[in-house]
A = this chain, B = another copy of it.
Amino acid sequence: MQRNVAGFLNAMVGLDVVTGQEVAERFERDESHCPPQRPVAVVFAHTESDVMRVFQAASDWKVPVTPSGARTGKCGAAIAAKDGVLLSFEKMNAILSIDVEDMTATAQPGVVLKDLYAAVEKVGLFYPPDPNSWETCSLGGNVACNAGGPSALKYGVTGQYVLQMNWVLPDGRFIRVGRRTFKGVAGYDLTHLFVGSEGTLGVATEIVLKLLPTPRAVRTALFSFSSLRSAIEAGRQIFALGVLPRALELFDDVAVRAVRPHIDAVGLSAGAQAALIVELDGGSDDALLDELSRCVRATDPLETTVAGDQGQRAKIWNVRQSLSAALRRLHGLKISEDIVLPRSKVLTGIERFKAAGLAADLTVATYGHLGDGNLHTNVCFASETDRPRVESFVARMMEEVISLGGTVSGEHGIGLSKRAFLLSELGRAQYEVQRELRDFFDPSQISNWGKVFR
Contact = CB atoms under 8 A, between A and B. Distances in A.
A342 interface: yes
Contact of A240 (B213, B242, B410, B431): B213
Interface in A167-188: 169, 173-177, 179-188
Number of copies of this kind of chain in the complex: 2
Nearest to A144: B185
Interface in A326-357: 340-344
A233 B405 CA distance: 48
A360 interface: no
A124 to B, nearest CB: 7
A317 interface: no
Nearest to A75: B185
B344 A99 contact: yes
Contacts of A182: 153, 340, 343, 372-374
Interface stretch (A22-30, A36-44, A49-57, A418-426): A418-426
Contacts of A341: 181
A242 B173 CA distance: 41
Contacts of A177: 430
- Interface-centre pick from A181, A197, A418 (highest chain B CB count, 10 A): A181
Given A192-B192, A284-B283, A427-B175, A185 B433 contact: no
Given A344-B101, A427-B175, A437-B440, A145 B185 contact: yes
Contacts of A188: 193, 196-197, 201, 434, 437-438
Interface string A208-236: 00001111100000000000000000001
A319 interface: no
Contacts of A343: 101-103, 182
Given A175-B433, A240-B213, A410 B282 contact: no
Interface of A: 99, 101-104, 124, 145-146, 148, 152-153, 156-157, 159-160, 169, 173-177, 179-190, 192-193, 195-197, 201, 212-216, 236, 239-244, 280, 282-285, 287-288, 340-344, 369, 372-374, 405-414, 418, 421-422, 425-427, 429-431, 433-434, 436-438, 440, 452
